[in-house]
Structure 1
Amino acid sequence: MATVGAAPAPKGGWDIETVAAELLRCEDARIERPAFTDEWPELDLDTGYAIQDLNLRHRLERGERLVGVKLGLTSRAKQVRMGVDFPFVAWLTDAMILPVGDPVPQSRLIHPRVEPEIVFVMGKKLEGPGVSCATAMAAVESVWGGAEIIDSRYQNFRFTAGDVAADNASSGAFVTGPIGLPPAQLDLSLEAVLVEVNGVVVDSATGAAVQGHPGEALALAANDLARRGHAVESGWIVLTGGMTDAVFAPPGASIAMHFTHLGSVFLNGGKA
């Protein structure tokens, strides 16, 4: 069971280094806390990204390997639910990969939710600024269906733009499905998914829910990363963002994401 609350702010208030350390502590200990902007309203988007980048360095120093990027809040459904008006870019490491067939890792997550994703594996480096959807898609080697298990270190998933950027866009874990296809074989704006929980279809969407086309999300990632001094590298995995709202993933749940051409992704909620 996750613990509510966390250590009080350091004397003198929060800064980039102390927020970064606190977020990793909350993640490792499965502790949720109020949004930092409750105490530090100056935590804006750029400051949040600085915290995110610092924690990437900490993750790499402790042995994790950078494998790609993820986008968060790319669909209008997710933006409405979370009260945020634009997407975010965050990091993926190998520690976030969930092996196919493994249950939702309840023992290391606070309040997991699952959302369907269209996933790219990059064949070429993609570097902004000025990347278009067409340019982005030309750099993609293969397209996969997937599921992201999002988590948040904030109570009730309540946060501002700066908070969620600092928290690596609510990263948790991810898994990809059984079928990878060249992008030329798919109309990704029409690629559909059905979300099923305990045998009941609870939501559906198409790729158009993700910025109009998942390639637009990839272009957004390349252009945003360029502003931060990075590029989308060849071989990276890119999660383009939840196509639907996320569904809760409690212990014992059975969750499936059925894609039109990209197969199905199955998850079970595991044990508490």
Structure 2
Amino acid sequence: MIDLARMAEIVDDAALSATTIPQFSDERALTVAEGYEIQKLSMHRRYARGDKRIGIKMGFTSRAKQLQMGLDDLIWGRLTETMRVPEGGTISMAQYVHPRVEPEIAYLIKHRLEGSVSALEALNAVAGVACALEVIDSRYADFKFDVGDVLADNTSAAGFVIGNWHAPDTDMVNLGLVLSINGRPRQIGSTAAIMGNPARALVAAIRMAAEVGEPLEPGDIVLAGAATAAVELAVGDHVEAQFETLGSIGFAIIE
């Protein structure tokens, strides 16, 4: 019988110290339920240190990625206060193992909504929308993992930046965007890459958070998932994403 609490301690220590660990799947593949339980236990260790959950992030929002990983649904992880980076601010490479960045869409929750809802019902529960950048950082060696591994590691959640909030009825379905590093475009894409419509990821977020007894509350943030492939980061990099309609956001990497 595997020790889920011990695994939670291992992955939490790795995130706290920015060190790599072997994939748990090297010994035995974790089930989806086991991966989520380890994630929950590891996050409660963070909360005990004074951190606070302020939202959730969605992953595997591409159907192709779900098929590749053998899933028929999205995955999700918790966002906490210590993960938030001010727009235009800096992050220290010393706090990460091998960080990468993805452009995303963020939703700010206005009132509690839980269970199975429509996209319209979900958007009616939103106070605002914004462009975002998520810093992902798998704690596993070589950024390699299976489904159970990544769930245990809080779906690689490590940091995020939120741009200015816009009206909740802003059209988010097919906004063009450019992700640049040091002024050079590295990814060009569209918010349509997020399940064809980022609101579908919001619907899934509401459903999945409620299923584990953590319904989204007023003030919570939902990151809807990556709109392009992730780009690796290095010390000295200046990251900027320009979104059609929503403007631009960025941050820099220091030692």
Q: Is the 8 A contact 2:66 2:74 kept in 1?
A: no
- Structure 1 segments unaligned to the other structure (5+ residues): 1-12
Q: How many correspondences in the alignment? A: 254
CA contact (8 A) 1:104 1:249 kept: no
Partner of 1:6: none
Q: Which residue of 2 aligns with 1:101?
A: 88
CA contact (8 A) 2:60 2:66 kept: no
- How many angstroms does 1:99 deviate by? 2.0
Q: Structure 1 residue 80: deviation in Å?
A: 7.8
Q: Report the TM-score when normalising by structure 2.
A: 0.93
8 Å CA contact 1:14, 1:40 repeated in 2: no
The whole-number CA distance in structure 2 between the counterparts of 1:92 and 1:189 is 24
The alpha-carbon deviation at position 76 of structure 1 amounts to 5.1
Offset of residue 260 of structure 1? 0.7
The amino acid across from 1:97 in the alignment is R
Partner amino acid for 2:165? G
- Post-superposition Cα deviations, 1:11-41, rounded to whole Å, max 9, x if no partner, equal xx74210110000111122211221011122
Partner of residue 230, structure 2:
246
Q: Unpaired segments of 5 or more residues in structure 2? A: none
Shift of 1:114: 0.6
2:242 equivalent in structure 1: 258
Q: CA deviation at 1:53?
A: 1.2
Tell me what 1:111 maps to.
98
1:265 to partner: Cα distance: 1.0
2:119 is equivalent to residue 137 of structure 1:
no
1:119 alignment partner, SS class? strand
Residues in 2 aligned to 1:138 and 1:153: alpha-carbon distance in whole angstroms:
36
Q: Does residue 181 of structure 1 match 2:161?
A: no
TM-score, normalising length: structure 1: 0.88
Distance 1:25 1:82, change over 3 A: farther
2:143 maps to: 157
> Which 4+ runs in 1 deviate beyond 3 A?
80-86
Distance 2:190 2:97 in 1: 29
Q: Could you say which residue in structure 2 is the equivalent of 1:203? A: 187
**Matched residue of 2:138: which SS?**
coil
Match of residue 15, structure 2, among 27, 30, 54: 27
What's the C-alpha RMSD, in Å, of the aligned pairs?
1.8
